[in-house]
Structure 1
Amino acid sequence: MKNYLCKWIPPRADFLATLSADEQKWMGQYGDYLNELLAQGVIVAHGPVINDGEGYGVSLYQIADDEDIADYTSQDPIVKNGVGHYEHYDMPHLSARK
């Protein structure tokens, strides 16, 4: 198994305060997508991080050795709609409570 911390970076610093109607819809789809991966056991945890009014998303993935993390993050509805991007960080070890 491979482990990753994935950081979703919004397209602008004030993104959360200035969401368009389309972006609000896509953010809902983003949450649904991550929750589905959580239910499947692909994601261990996910959630928003807020820092001085700005934010980004964090997800912890645990995937098979023959899988590519970009295959998951590129299918995220918010990214597919051109809103923000992901950074991927390899985690050599991930311990999680059950």
Structure 2
Amino acid sequence: HGSGWERVLGWLGDFLSKETGAKPMSVFHCRMIPPRPDFAFTLTEEERALMNAHADYLRGLLHDGTMMLAGPVADPAGPWGLLILRVGTEAEAEAVTDGDPVARSGRGFRYEILPMLSTIM
């Protein structure tokens, strides 16, 4: 019984998306890894400006409904960025992360993208 409603509602959502012609969406966990473990504590002014452009980019994703959540994670090994996307495919998630100013900067930022097996929203 623990996951019964999740399954039923998932089936219902799939059915309705087919009926309305809506494209099925998936959720992806995107981990933005900075160029060095102490990045969050040692930003240069140029890197701070880049992070402001990154934040503006994420705000646009939130506004258009692509991004569900984003923020820095306080990992003892070194902070990293979390980005939760709702898109149709992993290729679309890659396109979103590739478009991020930090990824385009050539400064050593990279994303790891993992699909979520299921979500509770």
What TM-score results when the alignment is normalised by the length of structure 1? Answer: 0.88
**Matched residue of 2:31: which SS?**
strand
Q: Which residue of 1 aligns with 2:118?
A: 93
Q: Which residue of 2 aligns with 1:50?
A: 74
Larger % of helix: which?
2
Q: Which residue of 1 aligns with 2:45?
A: 21
Change in 2 beyond 3 A, CA 1:91/1:22 = same
Q: Which residue of 2 aligns with 1:36?
A: 60
Q: Give the structure, 1 or 2, with the largest relative contact order (CA under 8 Å, sep 6 or more).
A: 1
The superposition leaves residues 42-97 of structure 1 with CA deviations (integer Å, 9 ceiling, x where unpaired) of 0111111112382100011111248521100000001110231000011122222x
Give 1:17 deviation, angstroms. Answer: 1.5
What TM-score results when the alignment is normalised by the length of structure 2? Answer: 0.72
Moved more, 18-27 or 5-14: 18-27
For 1:44 and 1:66, how far apart are their aligned partners in 2? 16
Q: Which runs of 4+ in 1 moved over 4 A?
A: none
Change in 2 beyond 3 A, CA 1:78/1:65 = closer
* 1:61 equivalent in alignment to 2:61: no
For 1:69 and 1:39, how far apart are their aligned partners in 2? 16
Gaps of 5+ in 1: none
What's the Cα RMSD here?
1.7
Identity of matched residues, %: 30
Of the two, which has the highest radius of gyration? 2
Q: How many residues in Structure 1 have an aligned counterpart in Structure 2?
A: 96
Larger % of strand: which?
1
